[in-house]
Structure 1
Amino acid sequence: MFFLHFLLHIVVTSADVANINNNNINTNINNNINIAAHFGTKSRYEEVNPHLLADILAVNHSILRPPATERCSPVHVSALVRHGSRYPTVNNVRAIRKLSDLLRSQRPQEWTSWRRDILDGWRMWYTDDMDGELVHKGREDMRHLARRLSLLLPSLLGEEPVRRGRVQLLSSSKHRCVSSVEAFQEGLHLQAHLSHVDYSHRVDDQLLRSFERCPGYVEGVEKNHTALAEVHKFQDGQEMDGVRTKVADKLGLPGDSLTADLLEAAFFLCSYELAIKSQHSPWCFLFDQDDAQVLEYKLDLKQYWKRAHGHAINSLSSCPLFHHIFRTLDKAGRPRRSSEAPPEPASILIGHAETLLPLLALLGLYKDQAPPTADNYHAQHGRTFRTSKIVPYAANVLFVLYDCQRGPRLQLLVNETPVRFPGLWAEDAPLYRDVRAAYRHLLDGCDFHKECHGAHGGRGPNTEL
């Protein structure tokens, strides 16, 4: 069970200042209780599934939805999982340090009450060597997710398949992912009441970091400044400038000294300390919900144009992962002789937000009718593309294959919630052959080498959405 502990160390020098500070805090406690729902890829998994705050092992078996008119049993699950909560990367740590130094650059007697509240109640404790490593909470994210999935699908992830080593586990080479896949195995063993964990995963960056070896993506998007033109335009626009000016005024800083990067660092400080320590740090009270929505939109713009639907090559860079998942499902669902060994009941792949988002885009999910741009912020409040909801820490995409009377069926779940395949809206678990037919163009195409190494360096940025 996780509880939120409010960390408020308030130093006052007079009754008047105390009253001002208390007014600041009382006003902002109500405003910022909900800002945790707007941290983008740095959101806690519990913000997507808040019932887990009361019971971290709560499982709702009704999310498995094969048709009630057929006898069905699950025969395989392929799960793509993002690593758990982590420390800031080294670049984030350096931005946080720069922000801390900026706030301490004046004499204490010149600090505003807001700045005093922060600097008296918080210390700079992040170091470069943390560099995105999994934190204790992140290991718990993975252990608990593994236990919930074991409870949800005991025939696939319960004691028998775990004891016999029949769960395939693959991981990105990044240390936060390797630590996550280890913790996931610990959770499976704990749920199966097995004391000894014999780690059996392997690293596969060709699947889980395929974007790195796609020149069409690396040159066309990642290293191409124009690919994120909408992000840069919004960052310099009136909504972001309004938040930056408001926060700079609270901190008593010249407007031009609080850059967009430092503003984002202050916002991330709130998200990190909530994810790492389950605390609202003093930094949180700089932002109200309107501020958080603006900053979230900037984060979503970046992920949309850099990793998702914004450019065709973003999703096409995940072709190897797409084919791997469907080959695994094909193998699990095909008829076999009694003498043949049964397929592995589960395949667990641990990667990054950068792994999940391109695949979800390739599947056609979370694609709004109008793409998010720098100019349509107010029209996008109801958008489905919200990374806070889609790829928080420990995000997961489950492909559950059932053996049913009419043939194999496939259900998709995202973050333990049923999601229907685009074009197959009538059923939660359509026939597998219908899913394959819907993605025939990708199963027969989606050639990674052609898309990524083709003429002119592959597909560069485009606005065909």
Structure 2
Amino acid sequence: MRKVLLLVCCISGLALQCVNSRLCSTNSKPYDLFGTKTLYENVAGDLPNQRARAPKRCSPIFVYGLIRHGARYPGNDAVIELRKLKELTKSINVTGRATLCKKDLEAIRNWKIWTDEYNDSNLTAYGANEMRQLALRLQQFLPEILSAGTPASKYRFTSTESTRTIDSMEAFVESLSQGSFRDEIKNFTEIVTEEIDPINDENCNRYVREVDDNDNITEEYDKFVEGPIVTQMSRGIARRLGVPSSMITNDVVNRLYDDGCYSEQWVTGKNAPWCNVFSKKDLKLMEYGSDVEDYPERGYKFPVTYQQNCFLSKEIVNMVKKAGDDDLREKEQNVLARFRFAHTSNIVTLAANLNLYSDEPGPTADAFYSQQNRAFRMSYFSPSAANLVFVLYRCEIGKRTRYTVQVYWNEKLLKSYPACPSATHRARGMCNLETWLWQYRSFVAGSPTECNQEEICA
């Protein structure tokens, strides 16, 4: 009878606790959100088709995309942590009372280290495919701009010097171009070294002083991991593995989550055996903890965090402004598409600087239950292959020409934000360019209120 109960538990479509107290994982992933290590496919939106994207008589004339690299391998230090997890497998069920069922315990015992030092933070095959597929979807969305017939000189591609961003850029460009055009378009790609990269945190002395070197920066996170809810979670993990509670310290919990669970998922795209030691609530708790940790360094808590993105904000706003200026377009060779390949901080601080999400109070140590619908959520903000895309349209209305802007965040249309308070067509998020530029006047070159990178970071 006990065997029958165990079998029913293991083949059930739900993670049930059976009469014999054995817990079995499901075949599907218990939870999809892992902060910045969330897979893009789990949170991405759906770009509209050509006809649905804008009203009639409106044509796209410029696109700017800021794109985070695709899913990558962990850094070299993860190999050390993975070896420690391998040692932990030798202690599985030493108490003889493990509540995970036999198949999950065996999967953990038989688990093998899946990476080595040679993969140090490099783009995975899965991550390269994320880039290719994103390029194809953007091409289908904006064929007037991103078609193979467009001269290569109309494109600009820039990457930071990290191998993972360079490889992401190359995969994106490869998917976007064909034949001899692929070789030609490479003449318009550029790698910016970190020393001169204007969107690198280390170049901002004020950020280093107020945030990086701030001894109190982890205060909320420290309170969170030392709180009763995390202690309770650790005890639950110990029971599932059948080990003494003293073995499951905060360091071990982080190792199980970071290196055992989501890092392997990022590489393979599949659920990892170590993920099964966490309940769904546990995984939500760990995701929340990562937001508590990230908020001071990437959210609204310290203004310099996002204000230092002055350069990038100005680049985007002024390129959109130039593309919407008939005189400039006639006098100068106009670029139709600009893509930058960078990192999660670039995505999130740009969004904050442009006020694309609410600046309501960020996540705190004791607000897990009340902040399930929080505004600051890195899983949705910056998964692998995260992107912010700005599209400028020219609309012919009678004898008048009007320019409008759409903004997409991870392929989701933003229909209302402070710079777009009264969209011309709300369902399509068509923001009047003049209103948009006025709201972002601190990023317009020559404006009396133009932001200054050097002053911000002094």
Question: TM > 0.5 between the two?
Answer: yes
Residue 94 of structure 1 is matched in structure 2 by 80
Question: Which residue identity is paired with 1:425?
Answer: P
Contact between 1:32 and 1:288, CA under 8 Å: does it hold in 2?
A: no
Q: Which region of structure 1 is more displaced relative to structure 2, 34-43 or 319-328?
A: 34-43
1:47-126 mapped onto 2 (5 Å cutoff): 47-49=42-44, 60-61=48-49, 65-66=53-54, 68=55, 71-104=57-90, 112=98, 114=100, 116-126=105-115
Residue 407 of structure 1 is matched in structure 2 by 402
Residue 149 of structure 1 is matched in structure 2 by 138
Alpha-carbon distance in structure 1 between the residues aligned to 2:272 and 2:358: 34
Shift of 1:212: 1.6
Alpha-carbon distance in structure 2 between the residues aligned to 1:126 and 1:253: 26
Structure with a larger share of its residues in helix: 1
Contact between 2:387 and 2:409, CA under 8 Å: does it hold in 1?
A: yes
Q: Which region of structure 1 is more displaced relative to structure 2, 139-148 or 361-370?
A: 361-370
Alpha-carbon distance in structure 2 between the residues aligned to 1:308 and 1:352: 15
Residue-by-residue CA offset, 1:276-335 (whole Å, 9 max, x unaligned)? 223222122222221111111011112221112121111012111111112222222211
What is the DSSP-based 3-state SS (H/G/I as helix, E as strand, rest coil) of the residue aligned with 2:451?
coil
2:369 to 363, 375, 378: 378
Shift of 1:42: 0.4
Relative contact order (C-alpha < 8 Å, sep 6+): which is higher? 1
Residue 331 of structure 2 is matched in structure 1 by 340
Contact between 1:208 and 1:351, CA under 8 Å: does it hold in 2?
A: no
What is the DSSP-based 3-state SS (H/G/I as helix, E as strand, rest coil) of the residue aligned with 1:409?
strand
Q: Which region of structure 1 is more displaced relative to structure 2, 387-396 or 15-24?
A: 15-24
Do structure 1's residue 358 and structure 2's residue 349 form an aligned pair?
yes
Shift of 1:22: 6.7
Residue-by-residue CA offset, 1:428-447 (whole Å, 9 max, x unaligned)? 12111111111224543332
Q: Which region of structure 1 is more displaced relative to structure 2, 124-133 or 97-106?
A: 97-106
1:131-170 mapped onto 2 (5 Å cutoff): 131-161=120-150, 163-170=151-158
Do structure 1's residue 46 and structure 2's residue 32 form an aligned pair?
no
Contact between 2:211 and 2:217, CA under 8 Å: does it hold in 1?
A: yes
Alpha-carbon distance in structure 2 between the residues aligned to 1:341 and 1:383: 45
Shift of 1:151: 0.9
Residue 199 of structure 1 is matched in structure 2 by 186
Residue 21 of structure 2 is matched in structure 1 by none
CA distance change for structure 1 residues 254 and 219 in 2, over 3 Å: closer, same or farther? farther
Question: Which residue identity is paired with 1:292?
Answer: L
Residue 186 of structure 1 is matched in structure 2 by 174
Aligned residue-pair number: 428
Question: Which residue identity is paired with 1:430?
Answer: C
CA distance change for structure 1 residues 367 and 92 in 2, over 3 Å: closer, same or farther? farther
Shift of 1:195: 6.6
2:233 to 235, 243, 246: 243
TM-score between the two structures when normalised by the length of structure 2: 0.85
What is the DSSP-based 3-state SS (H/G/I as helix, E as strand, rest coil) of the residue aligned with 1:160?
coil
> Identity across aligned pairs (percent)?
28
1:445 to 446, 450, 456: 450
Shift of 1:106: 7.0
Question: Which residue identity is paired with 2:251?
Answer: D
CA distance change for structure 1 residues 426 and 361 in 2, over 3 Å: closer, same or farther? same
What is the DSSP-based 3-state SS (H/G/I as helix, E as strand, rest coil) of the residue aligned with 1:178?
helix
Question: Which residue identity is paired with 2:243?
Answer: L
Shift of 1:384: 2.6
Alpha-carbon distance in structure 1 between the residues aligned to 2:276 and 2:393: 48
Residue-by-residue CA offset, 1:90-128 (whole Å, 9 max, x unaligned)? 233333332332332579896947473243342112223
Do structure 1's residue 174 and structure 2's residue 179 form an aligned pair?
no
What is the DSSP-based 3-state SS (H/G/I as helix, E as strand, rest coil) of the residue aligned with 1:330?
helix
Residue-by-residue CA offset, 1:387-410 (whole Å, 9 max, x unaligned)? 111111011100101112343211
What is the DSSP-based 3-state SS (H/G/I as helix, E as strand, rest coil) of the residue aligned with 2:408?
strand
Shift of 1:336: 2.5
CA distance change for structure 1 residues 292 and 392 in 2, over 3 Å: closer, same or farther? same
CA distance change for structure 1 residues 16 and 366 in 2, over 3 Å: closer, same or farther? same
Residue 269 of structure 2 is matched in structure 1 by 278
Structure 1 unaligned blocks of 5 or more: 1-14, 52-58, 454-465
Residue 200 of structure 2 is matched in structure 1 by 210
Alpha-carbon distance in structure 1 between the residues aligned to 2:97 and 2:264: 23
1:416 to 397, 411, 416: 411
1:295-314 mapped onto 2 (5 Å cutoff): 295-314=286-305
Structure 2 unaligned blocks of 5 or more: 16-23, 424-428
What is the DSSP-based 3-state SS (H/G/I as helix, E as strand, rest coil) of the residue aligned with 2:216?
helix
Alpha-carbon distance in structure 2 between the residues aligned to 1:348 and 1:292: 34
Residue 435 of structure 1 is matched in structure 2 by 436
Contact between 1:81 and 1:350, CA under 8 Å: does it hold in 2?
A: yes
Do structure 1's residue 393 and structure 2's residue 379 form an aligned pair?
no
Residue 223 of structure 1 is matched in structure 2 by 213
Residue 55 of structure 1 is matched in structure 2 by none
CA distance change for structure 1 residues 239 and 32 in 2, over 3 Å: closer, same or farther? farther
Alpha-carbon distance in structure 2 between the residues aligned to 1:157 and 1:260: 48
What is the DSSP-based 3-state SS (H/G/I as helix, E as strand, rest coil) of the residue aligned with 2:327?
coil
TM-score between the two structures when normalised by the length of structure 1: 0.83
Alpha-carbon distance in structure 2 between the residues aligned to 1:247 and 1:91: 24
